[in-house]
Structure 1
């Protein structure tokens, strides 16, 4: 959106950048399948991104969802078909039954928050690195050495894994509360500054179209 400001005879154009709140979980397969598509869209539109890792199981419990293992068999079977299809479509490797799932997502989430606050690497690559570690590389992202390796690969100082743990834990809890308050019920979930909401990696095209003004 552009706003024309008039001050005497001086006309200035001020461009307001779009903003996206990105709610995700570092163990979510659909967050993995999103790849770095969000970052590509944000770059295309000059949009900013706020990375908000959340406790997905808590969000499920607060919004009527259930963990994958507790779902009706119809949903379990559908998920088992849908994940490989989407992975093939995006040319991403996928192990439908990874060795380390589910695991505690808090430590990797804290690392994302610390990286966002104190680092200068690639946050999109970091999020994708954690999810890829789970769903394609058979790694346990609750372990310090795995977290440090993901940070380093994404261009961050590995020591951020232990940076401001209390502050990161508080922010993680706040992200989870903010997610529920904002209408989030799954991952990945994208919300624009105009409160346009998108659930799932298969809605990235719609997000792109909304930011373009086509939807």
Structure 2
């Protein structure tokens, strides 16, 4: 039976974007059962002692930009490390991802494409036209855009956030396998090893 891999993320996180780009290959290699679980980051931070970016000391904010530039170059992923539309109102895009999940579709390509729209293409995730373009490029039904606005997705995001808190997740992206938490896109090597481990 495939091991469950819970992936907690937000589209506003560049680290989530970099992780999502790598998850497809990881799943192919390990056979893991990936569960995408977008969260409400302010609530997660409030419960676990994290600070939103705007509230962090200048030195930490500056270091984040240096690290983003390094990882962008290291992974060969062009990025706007200070995109125009950041922080984005990601509700429409996240709702589209959740609608795809509900429909039984593979939503990982959507999460990657929305990350690319924000972090590589410097586009606004709150723009209907941007979301429609992403759906069209992936040959996903346009109806997902209308379904993205269903208020039931708020309940799903809240449930995902509570599940993350219960699993001791404190930041994004985080992968959870059983009782183990792996925080950061730079921990995916450990995620893969854990998935290959008989103990999980």
Q: Is TM > 0.5 for Structure 1 vs Structure 2? A: yes
Report the secondary structure of 1:22's partner residue: strand
Report the counterpart of residue 96 of structure 1 in structure 2.
81
Match for residue 33 of structure 2? 48
Secondary structure of 1:34's match? helix
Deviation at 1:152, TM superposition (A): 2.6
Distance 2:145 2:104 in 1: 11
| Partner Cα separation in structure 2 for residue 35 and residue 112 of structure 1 | 13
Compute the displacement of 1:19 (Å).
Answer: 0.8
Bigger proportion of residues as strand: 1
> Given the alignment of the two structures, is residue 125 of structure 1 paired with residue 106 of structure 2, yes or no?
no
Cα deviation for residue 161 of structure 1 reads 1.7
Aligned length: 198
> Which one has the largest radius of gyration?
1
1:63 Cα offset (Å) = 1.2
Alignment of 1:140-179 (within 5 A): 140-163=124-147, 165-179=150-164
Report 1 or 2 for greater relative contact order, CA contacts < 8 Å, sequence distance ≥ 6: 2
TM-score (norm: length of structure 1): 0.86
The residue number in structure 2 matching 1:71 is 56
Give structure 2 stretches of 5+ with no counterpart: none
Output the CA distance in 2 between the equivalents of 1:86 and 1:196.
25
Deviation at 1:119, TM superposition (A): 5.1
Aligned to 2:99: 114
Q: What residue number does 2:45 align with? A: 60
Match of 2:151, SS state, is: helix
Deviation at 1:126, TM superposition (A): 0.8
Q: CA deviation at 1:50?
A: 0.9
Q: Which structure 1 segments of 5+ residues have no match?
A: 1-15
Superposition CA RMSD, Å: 1.7
Q: Which residues of 2 match residues 13-52 of structure 1 at below 5 A?
A: 16-52=1-37
Equivalent in the alignment of 1:3: none
Q: Which string of whole-angstrom CA distances, capped at 9 and with x for unpartnered residues, describes residues 6-52 of structure 1?
A: xxxxxxxxxx2111111100111101112431221112111111111
Q: Retained in 2: the 8 A contact 1:54–1:109? A: no
TM-score with structure 2 length normalisation?
A: 0.92
Is the 1:30–1:200 Cα contact (8 Å) retained in structure 2?
Answer: yes
Match of 1:134 in 2: 118
**Larger CA deviation: 45-54 vs 172-181:** 172-181
* CA apart distance, 1:177: 1.8
